Structure 1
Amino acid sequence: MPADRYQVVEQQLQQAYRFTEEALAELAMERYAVPSRQALIGDDVEELFDWVRDETRWLPYQGALRGARGVLMDGHGSHLDRALLLAELLESAGYRVRLARATLDDGSIEALLGDWQSDVGHVSARPSLVAASSDYATAAQRLNADEGAVQRQVELSDERAERMAARVSDRTLEQANYLAGHLAGQLDLASADEGNSDEWRRAVADHWWVQWESPGGWQDLDPVSRRHRPGERVHEGEFESLWPEAIPEEQWHRLRFEVVAERLEAGKLEERTALDHEAAAAALIGRSLMLDLQPMGLPPAATLMGGDTGFSPDELPTLLGSSEEWLPLLLVDGEPVIQHSILHDGSLGDPESGTAISEAYSEATTALGQIGIGGRRGQQEAEAPPELTATFLRLSVSAPGRETDIFERSLMDVLGGERREVGVEDLSFSDAMREARAFSMLSSTELLAQSHWWPTEYTLGQLLLGTLDNRMVSLGAVHALRRDEASLMGQALERFEPHPVDLMALAHHRHARSPHRDHIALTRLNLLSTFEHLTLEEEGPLFEHGFDIIDNRIEVLPGSAGPRQVRLAQGVLDTVLEAELMRSTEERHLDSAEGSPVNASLALADALSHGIDWQLVTSGDALQSVDADTATHLRESLDRGQWLVMATKPEAVVTWWRIDPETGDTLGMGPQGRGQMTEQILVLMNSIDNAASAVAMVQSIWSCILTKPSAGSMQCCILREGAKAAGGKALGKLSDQWVEIASWAIESKIYLAALDSVFGEVNGAIVDTLPDPC
C-alpha cells in the first residue's frame, strides 16, 4: 500500500472535522449564553423584563441551583435563579442592578401558589419532523456526498432512534406497572398532589427580585407574576438589597467532593481526607468532572506503550501489584485539583513537603505526565503496622432550606461488608490482600452534576464540541502509525480530553424520553456518573465499568398523575436508560472480551420472561441468606425507610429496586450499591475512555501483555490497539449518541446523520484500512 495512504486518511479526518464545525454552526448555541440572548432581545429594560417574566417559569425550591445560564437552558428556576438571569441580562445591556429579598406573608404565599398551579404543566407536543427534499440536497452538497446516500443514512438513523425509543418505552411501562402492582396493597400511588407541602411554601416565601437604577432611582422588576409590570412587586414591606456578587454562600446549592482513606490501626478503623473540593452547582454547568485514583510511579503513556527502552510494558502487572502510594486527582474541565497522596498504611502524603508527591503536583498542574517516582517499599515498619483498608468518594450536596445529602461510593475496599460485620479487631493483613488492594487502587470516576434538563441543541453542541476537542487524538494516532512509533501513540492517547459523552446523553434522554416530561422538574442537584476500575480475582484482574445514577430525585408539578406514580415511572426510565446506553457502549467494543452486564431492569426483564416473580421487602428478615456484601447495601436502604423489590432466591439477589414509599422515588441498584455494571476479564480491552485515566492506559496495552509477544511484536500490538482506541474514543463514541439525540431536531438531524456516515468511514479507515503495523 502506498505510503501516502496515511496522508489520505489525515485529509479525510480534517474534512470530517471541518464538517463538524459546520454542523456546530447550524445549532443555535448562542441562545444559551446570556450576552447572546440579551442581544437577541434588545437593550430595552421593559423588553428584557417581559422576556424573563413570560418565557421562564418559577419552580419550588430555595436559593440558586442553576444560575442564569441554567434558567436559559431549562426555562425554569427559583425566585433567585430567575432574578439572576434578569440581572445578568440587564448588566449585559449596560444597566446597573441589584437584588432584593423579602419573606412573603401567608396571603401572598397562597396567592402565588394558586397562580402557579393554574399556569404550570401545560403540555407541549413534540413537533412533527418531516424532511424536505431540499434538506437532503443541501446536506449532500455540503458534505460532497450522494443525495440518495444521505437520505438512506437519515432513514437508518431514524430507525435506530425509533428502535431505541420503543425498547425504552416498552420496558419502562412494563416494569413500572409491575413494581406498582407489588406496591398496590400497601401504598396509594395515585394520591393527591403535594402542592401545599411545607417545602413549596418555604420556597414561595423566600422571594427575590431585581431592581435597576433608573434615572429616577431604583425601580423594581419582579417577574413572579405574569401580570406584573416594571415598578410593581408582590411584597410591599421591608426588604433587603444586595449586589449580585454579594449573595451569601449558603444561598447557593453546592457540591462537595471528598476522597477519604480508611486505615486499620490497633484494631480500629479511622478516616483521613486526601482530597476535599467544593463548588457551586451553577458553576458546574457544562463542565466535565473526572476523579482518577492512580499509583505513584506509573510511567506516562508514551513510556507505558513502549517508547522508553528502560521500561518494558510487560512489567506493568508487577508495577501495579507492588504500588504503595496513590494519588487522587480531580479534573474539573481538565484543570487538576491535587491535595494529598494516599500511602499503603493509610497515611497521607503532602504536596508541600518536598516528597515525591510535590513533584507530581508540579507536573500535573502543567501536563498530565508521569506522576511521582515510585512507592515506598522497604521502609522500616513497626510490628503490626497500620494498613490502608478502603478509599471512597464522598459527595455532599447542600441547599438552602434542606438537610445536606451525603452519598458514598467505594473506590477500593479490601475488607468488604462481611468482614466489617464480623469485626476487624483480630484482622491481620496478608500479601495477597496487599496485592488485591494495589490493583483495586486504580480507578476512574466521571461525574455529571445535573441541575437542569438538557435541551436537544445544547446537548448536540456539547457532543460536537467534544469531537473537536479530541481531534488531535485521531490525527496523532495516524501520525504514530505512519512513523511506526508506539511512544507517539502514547502521546496521542494522552491528549484525550475528559468529555462525559454517555452522561450527556443520559441527562438529555431522562427528560426527552420521559412519558411525563411536561410534569417533571429538577429542584435539586442530580448526580450521574460512570466508573471504571480494576479488581484482582482468582481468574486475574477484573475490569468493571458502568453507569451509576447516584441521585435521581425529581419534583412532580401540579396537574400530573399521582406524584408517587410519576416518580416511580421516572426511576424505572432512568434505570432502563442506564442499560440502554451501556448497550450502545458495549456495541462499540466488539473486540473486547465478552462482558456480563448487570442492571436491575435487565435482571427483572429476564426473570419475567421466565415467569419468575420478585418479592417486596420492607424489613431485614428476608436478607438472612443474601450475600453479606450485598446485604450490607440492602440494610442501608431499609434503615433509611426505603422498600426493596428483589429476587426471591437469595443467591439471585445481585440487583434490586429501591423505592421510597413516602415519595415514590425509585432507582434500580446493583453490585456495590451502584447501577449498571459490566464485568470483563482483561483479555482484549480496547475501550479507553480518558487520557488522564490510569485505568485507560492499562487497558490499552493489557491484551498485548497477556500474549507475551517479542519486543517487536509488542510494539506492533500496542500500535494496533492504540489506533482502535483512538478511533473509538475520538469518533465512534460521540457519533453513537449524537444521531439518536439529533432525531429530536429536524434542523440538525439530516446534517448529523450524514456526518455520522462520514465519521464511520474515517473511523473504519483508521482501524481497518490502514496497514496493520504488525
Structure 2
Amino acid sequence: MWAISMLTGFPHHSTRGLIFLLCFFLFVAPPPLIAQTSIDNSPPIDGLDHTFALAEYDLNQIEEARFDIAALQQKIGNTPNLLTNWVRSQTRWVPYLGALKGAPGTLLARQGNLLDRSLLLAALLEASGRQTRIAWFETTSKQKQVLRAAVSHQNAGERSDFFQADNHSKLNQAADSLSGDGRPRLVIDRVKAERALRIKIRNILSVQHDQLTALTSKYFDPADSSSGNSSLKRYFYVEHRTPENVEWDSEHLHPEMQSTGQEIHRFSPRHVPTKFLHSVTVRIVVVKDQSGILTQSVALEESIAVARLGTTKIRLGMSPIKKQGLPSLINSLYQSKNDGPLLRYLSLADSWAPTIRIENRQPVIGKIIRADGDVTVTPENLPGTSSGANLSTTLEKLDLLSGSATENQDSSLHAVRVEFVIQSPGGGNAKTITRPIYLRNNQHPPGLTQSERVARSAALSFRANFLITGGFFSMAYARVRQAQEYLKLRLAYRYLEKKDKDDWISRGDDMSPVITLLEKLDVFPTKLYGIAALRSASNIFINRPNVLGYWKHVHFDSPDSAYVLSAVDLIENGISSIDHTAQDAFNAQLLSGLRDTIIETAVESRTQQAVSTSSLFQKDQGLGWLLIQPGDLSPLQTLELPTVAQEAIQRDLAANYLVILRSDFGEDSVAWWRLNARTGELLGMSGSRHRIGGQSLTEKLVIGAAVTWVVGLLVDTLLDVSDSPCHPAGLAPSYNFLTRHLKSGVAKFWEEAEAIPGVGQCGEAVPLENDDGN
C-alpha cells in the first residue's frame, strides 16, 4: 500500500534553481519543516506556535511508567513477587513463536507470548538491581493443554482498540485546566478531530467490507491458521538473584508453576539465541545484463532483530556519485541559473551509493552500483566527514567513490530492487517482499539516450524511512515520538528566522553552518507513528514483524518534466486473531487488512490528493473490478499493464492470493486487492510503471531530484524542493536564495506528518469543520 506527490517542470530560467543545485551538489538537503507564508511578511506563527505548544503539552503529559521500564519498576517496587504479579495481570498472553516484541515492545503493547513477557519481567527485575537469566524446557502434551487453557481463558492485560471510546472527558478537563497560550483549544480540537477520524474510518470500513465480500465471499474457505500449538512447545520462566547471592530464585508468569525432568536450558536476556528471534533483512539487489544473460548481486544487506528495541527506525537511500571540481561547480551554479547543471549531472552519473541507517547502530555505505551493472566495494580509506566538513572534503569523498574504473560497454544495469526478508524463529521458509526501484526499458544498443540516463539516475536516487514493529502501541506513545520530532524542527526553524540577511554563498568552502542546520532538519516522518498506533484492534495482535514505510522518489518523464512520488507503504501487515473459530479469525484478518488500507489515506492532511486502493474502491463504489483466481495468469495477457505492476500481480497470484483488480487503470494508476481466501489476509496494493506499494500522493516538482548523501559519518536526507505557495521565491536578493530555499522546505513538512487539527497546509491556524458524528 502507498502514497504519491507530483510537480511539473519549472521554467528553465528559475533563479531558485541555483540554490537547489547548490544543495544538490552538497548531497544534503532539508527534509520538510513547517512553512511560513511569504518572503516579505512575518510567518504565521500562531499556527506554528500552537503546534509546538501542543508538542510541549504532550511531552509534559508523559507518564514515564507507561513506556519506560526503569520508571515502571520504581512505581511497582523492588519485590520480585510484585513485579511478577504486575506482568501477569497487566500484560495479555497471546500465542506466537519466539521473541518478537522484546521487553520494550511488550511494555508498549501490553501483550506478548510467554517468552516476551518473561523478557519484560527480567528487565524489571534487573532494574531493581538483580541479576537475571531466562530458563526454558520442552513441554509435554499435558503441559501444552494446561498452557493452552491459560491462553484461551485469560482476562489479563490491555486490549487496545482504536474504535473503543477514549477517555475524552479526561483530555478535555486537562485542556481546560491549562491557561493562556492557546494550548487548551488545540488539545480539545485534537480530541474532536480524532473522534471524527474514527467515525470516518468506521463508516468507510463498514461500506467497503460489504462491497468486498459481495465480490469475493463465494471463494472464502476459512482455515485454522493459529500458531497456538507450536507456540506452546516451550515453557519459559525467569531466574534471578541479588549480586551477593549464589543461589538463583525463580519467577513464573503462569500461576501454576510447571516443572520438568528433562534438560533445562538457560540464556541471558541480553543475548537471546538466534533461533528464538524474528528478524527483518533489508537488501538492495542489482541485476546485470551481459549479452542477454541476467546475473544478480547484493549491493547492501543488513539484518534487524526486532525484539531488541520493540520498534526500530530505518533510513534507506541511494545517491548518484560523480567527480566534480569545486571551481567548475561554483561557476556553473552561479552562471547558469537554470536546471541545466542538474540535468547534465544526472545524465553523466555512472555510479550510485546505497546507504542505510538503523536506529542505535552505525550507518553503513553499501557497495557502489555502476551503470554497467557491476558492484564494487567502497574504498576502505574513505575519509570521514563531520558536521564541520567543507564542500571540498565532500567532493574529495565523491572522487574516491567514483574511482577510475571505466564502464563496461558489453553489459548494463538492468534492474535494482529492495527486498525485505521476514524470517520467523526456527529457520523455516522466509517471506521475501520486493519493491522495485529501477527497471531498464531500453534493451537495445547503442544504449540509453540522455533523457533515459536522467530518468535512470533519478529513479536510483531515492530516500525511504521504515518503522519496524513487533507489536501495537498506543496513540499516547505515538504522540510522544511525534512531539520529539516537532521540537527538533522548532530549534532549526528559530535559527532560520535569524538568517534572512546571511550571505551563505560568499563563505565559499566553509559550508559547515549549512551542514549543521541540515543535520538538525533530518527528522523521521511522524505520520508513521500515527498510522502504526491506529492499526490496533481488540481482537488481533501482531504475530510477525510488521514493516511500515514512507518512500520518496523523483521521476523525470522528459528533460523538462519531473515529479516527486511520496508513498506510504504498509510492506508487511501480518497479524493473528485471538478469536477461537476459523470463521472469526478469518473475519478479523479481513477487517484488519481493509482498515490498514483505509488508514493510509485517512491520515493524510490532503486526503483529496491521496490515492490508494481503498480510495479508488470507494470512488468506484466497489463496481467494475476484475476478480482473478490464484494461479490464473490468462486474464493478464489481455491487459496492457505496466511491467512493474504486472510482475507484482503475477507474484501475488503465484503465492495463492485472490486478486481483485481495478479495470480502469493507466500507467500511473494500477490498483488491486490481494486476498488469501483461506486466512482472510488482505492488503490493498497500487502500482505504476515505476513502483508498487500502497497509498500515494503526486506533486509537481520545480526542478526536483531525490538525493541521499553523507553529512557527518552518514546523515542522508531528501532534497525535495518546490516553489511552495506557502513561501514563494519572490524577488529576494541573490545572497538570500539559500535561506529562502530552506524556509520553503518548511511547507513540505505536512507531507511527512500526520494532519494536525487547527493547523493548515502552510502552518497557519484554520477553523475546524463541524463535528456532527455520533
Measured against the shorter chain, the TM-score band is 0.7 to 0.9
**Paired residues of 1:336 and 1:365 also in contact (CA < 8 A):** no
Partner of 1:646: 661
Q: How big is each residue's C-alpha offset from its partner over 1:4-42, in whole Å with a ceiling of 9 and x where there is no partner?
A: x99999999899857744541211134322211111111
| Closer/same/farther in 2, CA of residues 389 and 713 from structure 1, 3 Å limit | farther
| Closer/same/farther in 2, CA of residues 683 and 650 from structure 1, 3 Å limit | closer
Instruction: Report 1:417-496 matches (<5 A).
Output: 429-432=447-450, 433-483=452-502, 485=504, 492-496=517-521
Partner of 1:78: 113
Q: TM-score of the superposition, structure 1-length normalised? A: 0.79
| Closer/same/farther in 2, CA of residues 180 and 298 from structure 1, 3 Å limit | farther
Partner of 1:328: 354
Shift of 1:306: 11
Report whether the alignment pairs 1:523 with 2:523: no
Partner of 1:591: none
Partner of 2:31: none
Shift of 1:485: 4.2
**Paired residues of 2:48 and 2:763 also in contact (CA < 8 A):** no
**Paired residues of 2:103 and 2:120 also in contact (CA < 8 A):** yes
Report whether the alignment pairs 1:169 with 2:202: yes
Report whether the alignment pairs 1:567 with 2:589: yes
Letter matched to residue 522 of structure 1: I
| Closer/same/farther in 2, CA of residues 15 and 306 from structure 1, 3 Å limit | farther
Letter matched to residue 71 of structure 1: T
Q: Secondary structure at the match of 1:37?
A: helix
Partner of 2:9: none
Question: Which segment drifts farther, 714-723 or 331-340?
Answer: 714-723
Letter matched to residue 555 of structure 2: T
| Closer/same/farther in 2, CA of residues 601 and 684 from structure 1, 3 Å limit | farther
CA distance in 2, matches of 1:367, 1:573: 47
Letter matched to residue 635 of structure 2: A
Letter matched to residue 435 of structure 2: R
Partner of 2:179: 140
Which residue, out of 641, 658, 667, partners 2:683?
A: 667
**Paired residues of 1:291 and 1:331 also in contact (CA < 8 A):** yes
Partner of 1:767: none
CA distance in 1, matches of 2:499, 2:709: 19
Q: How big is each residue's C-alpha offset from its partner over 1:692-736, in whole Å with a ceiling of 9 and x where there is no partner?
A: 7999654326789xx9999x766556543421323653xx56874
Higher RCO structure, 1 or 2 (CA under 8 Å, sep 6+): 2
**Paired residues of 1:448 and 1:528 also in contact (CA < 8 A):** yes
Which residue, out of 600, 605, 608, partners 1:584?
A: 605
Letter matched to residue 122 of structure 2: A
Report whether the alignment pairs 1:534 with 2:562: no
CA distance in 2, matches of 1:300, 1:496: 27
Q: How big is each residue's C-alpha offset from its partner over 1:580-619, in whole Å with a ceiling of 9 and x where there is no partner?
A: 23x31568xxxxxxx6x4311111111118x545535442
Q: How big is each residue's C-alpha offset from its partner over 1:373-427, in whole Å with a ceiling of 9 and x where there is no partner?
A: 3586996555x43212222111112121342111121122223xxx8xxxx6x66
Report whether the alignment pairs 1:98 with 2:133: yes
CA distance in 2, matches of 1:655, 1:83: 43
Partner of 2:11: none
Partner of 1:67: 102
Q: Secondary structure at the match of 1:184?
A: helix
Report whether the alignment pairs 1:319 with 2:335: no
Partner of 2:573: 552
**Paired residues of 1:442 and 1:694 also in contact (CA < 8 A):** no
CA distance in 2, matches of 1:686, 1:434: 14
Partner of 2:702: 683
Instruction: Report 1:217-296 matches (<5 A).
Output: 217-223=247-253, 225=254, 227-228=255-256, 232-233=257-258, 235=260, 237-296=262-321
Question: Which segment drifts farther, 178-187 or 15-24?
Answer: 15-24
Which residue, out of 228, 231, 238, partners 1:210?
A: 238
CA distance in 2, matches of 1:686, 1:166: 38
Which residue, out of 488, 497, 522, partners 1:497?
A: 522
Shift of 1:574: 0.6
Partner of 2:84: 49
CA distance in 1, matches of 2:51, 2:527: 22
| Closer/same/farther in 2, CA of residues 381 and 558 from structure 1, 3 Å limit | closer
Partner of 2:771: none
| Closer/same/farther in 2, CA of residues 242 and 365 from structure 1, 3 Å limit | farther
Letter matched to residue 220 of structure 1: S
Which residue, out of 344, 366, 375, partners 1:348?
A: 375
Question: Which segment drifts farther, 177-186 or 331-340?
Answer: 331-340
**Paired residues of 2:388 and 2:515 also in contact (CA < 8 A):** no
Task: Structure 2 unaligned segments of length 5 or more: list them.
Answer: 1-39, 506-510, 768-774
Q: Percent identity?
A: 19
Letter matched to residue 138 of structure 1: S
CA distance in 2, matches of 1:106, 1:132: 49
CA distance in 2, matches of 1:452, 1:700: 36
Letter matched to residue 252 of structure 1: L
CA distance in 1, matches of 2:51, 2:324: 33
Task: Structure 1 unaligned segments of length 5 or more: list them.
Answer: 512-516, 588-594, 741-752, 765-774
Q: How big is each residue's C-alpha offset from its partner over 1:492-524, in whole Å with a ceiling of 9 and x where there is no partner?
A: 34432331311111101111xxxxx11100110
Aligned residues: 694
Shift of 1:280: 1.0
| Closer/same/farther in 2, CA of residues 177 and 103 from structure 1, 3 Å limit | same
**Paired residues of 1:443 and 1:533 also in contact (CA < 8 A):** yes
Instruction: Report 1:726-737 matches (<5 A).
Output: 726=746, 728-729=748-749, 736-737=754-755
Instruction: Report 1:365-404 matches (<5 A).
Output: 370=394, 372-373=397-398, 384-401=409-426, 402-404=428-430
Name whichever structure is richer in helix by fraction: 1
| Closer/same/farther in 2, CA of residues 22 and 300 from structure 1, 3 Å limit | farther
Shift of 1:201: 1.0
Question: Which segment drifts farther, 34-43 or 238-247?
Answer: 238-247
Partner of 1:622: 635
Q: TM-score of the superposition, structure 2-length normalised? A: 0.79
**Paired residues of 2:422 and 2:545 also in contact (CA < 8 A):** yes
Partner of 2:620: 607
| Closer/same/farther in 2, CA of residues 365 and 348 from structure 1, 3 Å limit | farther
